[in-house]
Structure 1
Amino acid sequence: MAAKRRLLASVAAVLAGAAMAASPALATASPTTTATATTTATATATATAQTLVQDPAMCGFDNAPTPRTIKEGATGPTVSEAQCLLQLWGFSVGPRGVDGVFGPLTTQAAKSFQSSRNLTADGVIGPDTWFCLRDGCTS
């Protein structure tokens, strides 16, 4: 549960930062206007992050307790789920983002994620990696 809260906070921070960066008018706004905009952006980002983190459909979950093992060359919704979760944890799957194709950039993201969680960094997303992607294990 704590991992989910950390993930939610991280996603909200990224979304709020993007919302603030997208508004050049804030650079010359008064401190009160900027504070109000920041509060609004943070609230909106938090709500969006809650939807992303709490709604399994947002990452293509197939409701399987543990999805099938996937590796480079795989395609489909299970790959999309893995890519979405990798991105939520801060690991880029490439410029096309979530596309359902397990290519070399998804392999690299999976290896980096696995290394960060002290898993075997082979780029194959099996039961242990799925557990960490979904539940946020730290070691």
Structure 2
Amino acid sequence: MPQPTDIKLKQTSRTLVISFDDGQTFDYSCEFLRVYSQSAEVTGHAPGQEVLQLDKQQVNIDAISPVGNYAIRLHFDDGHDSGIYTWERLYDLGEHYQNYWVDYLRRLMRAGHSHPALTQLQKESGK
């Protein structure tokens, strides 16, 4: 499993940039990380109990805390700080960022919610 070599928080652009020892570098929006938190608040306590996160476009990260040698805890400015992001999870989120992001936007759309990025998604899909 690749290990991070550098973690940079860019609060102005609301982005977390992580470089891994295999040469990969991923840019994650704070919103993306917030809506894909592994916390029970987001994932629920069992399959089917997931909670769709709404209105997180402006969320930012206030602080990052190490969790052993395997993860970080992100402290978001909306008070959420219970999700632990393992290196494996962060790498997976980075590798599949586009697919996960589109899935999130589609879930928002199906639930009847708006998001600025939905307009672009709808244009790309021809709707």
**Same fold per superposition (TM over 0.5):** no
Q: Over alpha carbons, which structure has the higher Rg?
A: 1
Greater helix share, structure number = 1
- The answer to which structure, 1 or 2, has the higher relative contact order (CA under 8 A, 6+ apart) is 1
Greater strand share, structure number = 2
User: TM (normalized to structure 2)?
Assistant: 0.31
User: TM (normalized to structure 1)?
Assistant: 0.29
